[in-house]
A and B are shown apart, each in its own frame.
Chain A
Amino acid sequence: MGGFLDTYWGMYLIQNFWHSAIAAAVADSALVAWRIRDPLLRQRFRLLVIVLPVVSYPAYQWLNPERGTAYFRLGALADSMRWMHLEVARGVTVAALLLVFLGLTTLVFVIQELLPILVHMLRFGGGRGEDDGGNEADPHPEALEKLMRATAGLPIGKGDVEVLVEDDVVLYSSTGFAPRVFVSTGTMEELDDDELQSAIAHEIAHIARSRRPVLIFAYVFRTLMFFNPVAMVEFRRVAQDEEKICDDMAVSMTGKPEALARVIDMMRPDPEARGPEVQAGGKMMRAAAALESYSHDALLRARVMRIRDGLFAHNERWLLPLASTGAAIAVLNYFVV
């Protein structure tokens, strides 16, 4: 174990984790200190947390090859090896526990993210994507009229919205060369005109945002830190900010925040409803599903409250806060070995 920790990759692993944790603390401090609520700006701070730790160790070592020596460590702000070598039980060091924890994070990444992506790619290849279900029947003319009313005034062409004839509430968008919004007849029946317009506007916002693929960029760096739980949490926060950004864009398109709030409220999970695999599963699976459901509900509730409380003013001056945060992260982490 000690031998591995002394290697380049051993030190990269340990310091990457510490640097992420410190970057997250600094970024959160900045968001509080400057009272930054605009999700677009918050996302930029979170991207610092995802990007900087990937490159910090190699950059610091290039700047100062002696940074890994005992001499630098003695004078550093924090030497991670002082904790790593501590024994918590006979023969079990803090390093061993941390590596187990990072291993579990890797497992979560593989099961929750990598495998679904691979399965999706194998199922659909380079095609459009999800099995959009629906049947061959044409949608009812009333449904089409409702759709036309909802999309009037929105920056979307007629052919960019595809109607799925099915009773389930389905609404999503696909991005890429031929972006589309998919909406089911069940959705159109469930939502009134304003709600449908807001929901479609939200999907249009996702399409517009996909032209500057911030999430893809963030995900590449997040994938490079597949073992790092801080990167995992931070990426989820980036994705949550993305939803809020699209909420803001949707409201600016429609001018109807309450309608969007109602749509999101309808999407909140029913705590009693569980899929058959969860019902058939053991206690652990039900607990995990309940936690996931609660977490998802909390996020949706937060979005609804945010919209109903009034959208926050955009911070005009963000360059100094962002630059200060990046500098603070870079300087602090240099002295954390």
Chain B
Amino acid sequence: MPCATDDRADVFSGLLSFLAMTAVLAVVLAVLNWLPGQIDGGLLREFRDIEDVRRELGMRDIHSPAYFPEDISWPPTRILARTRPHPAVVLEFASSEGWPYLVIVETFGGSNKGLLKAGMREVAESASYPLKGRPAVLRAGLCGEGRQCSEIEWIDGDRSIHVQLQSTPFELIRIAESMIR
């Protein structure tokens, strides 16, 4: 006659089996996630430096700022790039406290949706701005955790560029202008 203790033992041994099977499934999913990168090196991934992006993805012409605010400097603290579905590069510059202070997203022939870490939480002002003769859209407001931030985006030839800075628009414009040759 089965007793309560046998029932509980069955349930817990079943739980162990189930957890083991779920762990195997998680490993299978992780392998399935890793495989496409081995088939196609153009999927979004992290790079150590810009030269690796130029060499491995053949993206020779990546715009980068010549001017930086006091708190940050070259090289970027994080670089993401891809060629599929369309080429894009993300350059992230962290503040001394570690959060992304400056983010530059360049996309070639497609949307930058999904490449922006977080949009502005609150847009206080939005205006058109002529950036060295190129029509740009400038926004100022608040980003995550209530920090003041501003962003600007424009199209330059075959690419669209989006720059977000956790600071005033004045610094942002100086950075953006330094990216235009």
Contacts and interface: CB of A to CB of B under 8 A. Distances in A.
A328 B110 CA distance: 36
Contact of B15 (A71, A74, A324): A324
B15 A70 contact: no
A34 interface: yes
A335 B90 CA distance: 23
A320 B36 contact: no
Given A33-B18, A320-B11, A325-B18, A73 B44 contact: yes
Interface string B68-97: 000000000000100011100010000000
Nearest to A82: B36
Contact of B7 (A78, A85, A317): A317
Interface of A is mostly: helix
B37 A82 contact: yes
B14 A34 contact: yes
Nearest to B17: A33
B124 interface: no
Contact of B25 (A2, A25, A68, A76): A25
A86 B15 CA distance: 37
A66 interface: yes
Interface stretch (B26-34, B52-60, B166-174): B26-34
A73 to B, nearest CB: 7
A79 B33 contact: yes
Contacts of B142: none
A70 B114 contact: yes
Interface string A55-71: 00000000000101111
Interface stretch (B115-123, B130-138, B145-153, B156-164): B115-123
A interface, how many residues as a size bin? 35 or more
B117 A69 contact: yes
A25 B15 CA distance: 16
A75 to B, nearest CB: 10
Interface in A309-337: 316-317, 320-321, 324-325, 328, 332, 336
B30 A6 contact: no
Interface string A1-25: 0110010000000000000001001
Given A26-B25, A317-B7, A34 B18 contact: yes
B26 A74 contact: no
Interface in B14-52: 14-15, 17-18, 21-22, 25-26, 29-30, 32-33, 36-37, 39-40, 43-46
Interface in A56-110: 66, 68-71, 73-74, 76-79, 82-83, 85-87
10 contacts: A33-B18, A70-B44, A76-B33, A78-B30, A85-B36, A321-B14, A325-B18, A328-B22, A332-B25, A332-B26
Given A34-B18, A70-B115, A74-B44, 17 more contacts: A32-B17, A34-B11, A35-B14, A69-B114, A69-B117, A74-B45, A74-B46, A78-B33, A79-B33, A82-B37, A83-B32, A85-B84, A85-B85, A87-B40, A317-B8, A321-B18, A324-B18
